[in-house]
Amino acid sequence: MVRTAAAADEEIRFDPDEIIVSKTDRTGRITYGNSVFVRVSGYDRGELIGQPHSILRHDDMPRCVFKLLWDEIAAGTEVFAYVKNRAKSGAYYWAFAHVTPNFGTDGQIDGYHSSRRVPDRRIVESKIIPLYDRLLTIERRAADRKQGLKDSFGALQHLLKEKGVDYNEFVFSL
């Protein structure tokens, strides 16, 4: 995996009329990225194709959110999520992602498609960042990464149960 820069506190923004699009195979390896994806990520197309999509994972993203996302899309359902990604330079960008499974002619999942738009900044700042900070605190205080993921995922599931909604409903209620 090509990751050349440490995380930076510099934000990259893209235009509200732009959509970042990427596709992966079943294992999460990038098979396609549109020109907006390439530009915003800062990678050359050749550096992206074949890499795990996690090449863009920012350390400020709770692992439990990705666990939930992968559990849902692997089960054949779509997911909407606020995501903080990390560009090649180490800078970050926020996106509102819609991730869906792609189905082959045999009806089986053969990959995934993600379309990402500019998120509502008020929601990111007032709701998402505080939530992700809480989940990260839970993950990081555990004795090991596995336990941290289990604990933060449990906290996220508890929040959804308390609100009586699934994750997509929660995201759209913000």
Please state the rounded mean pLDDT for residues 44-72. Answer: 96
Structural domain boundaries in the chain: 20-167
- pLDDT on residue 60: 95
Is residue 87 pLDDT above 80, yes or no? yes
- pLDDT on residue 76: 96
Coil, strand or helix: which one is 157? helix
- pLDDT on residue 6: 56
Helix 145-163 × helix 129-141 angle, to 10° = 140
Is residue 56 pLDDT above 70, yes or no? yes
Is residue 67 pLDDT above 80, yes or no? yes
Domain 20-167 has CATH 3.30.450.20: yes
- pLDDT on residue 9: 82
pLDDT tens by residue, 91-138: 999 999 999 999 999 999 999 999 999 999 999 999 999 999 999 999
How many angstroms separate the CA atoms of 102 and 70, rounded?
A: 13
- pLDDT on residue 8: 66
pLDDT tens by residue, 2-49: 444 555 689 999 999 999 999 999 999 999 999 999 999 999 999 999
Please state the rounded mean pLDDT for residues 67-73. Answer: 96
- pLDDT on residue 3: 45
Residue in 42, 13, 24, 18 with CA at minimum distance from that of residue 116: 18
Full-model pTM? 0.91
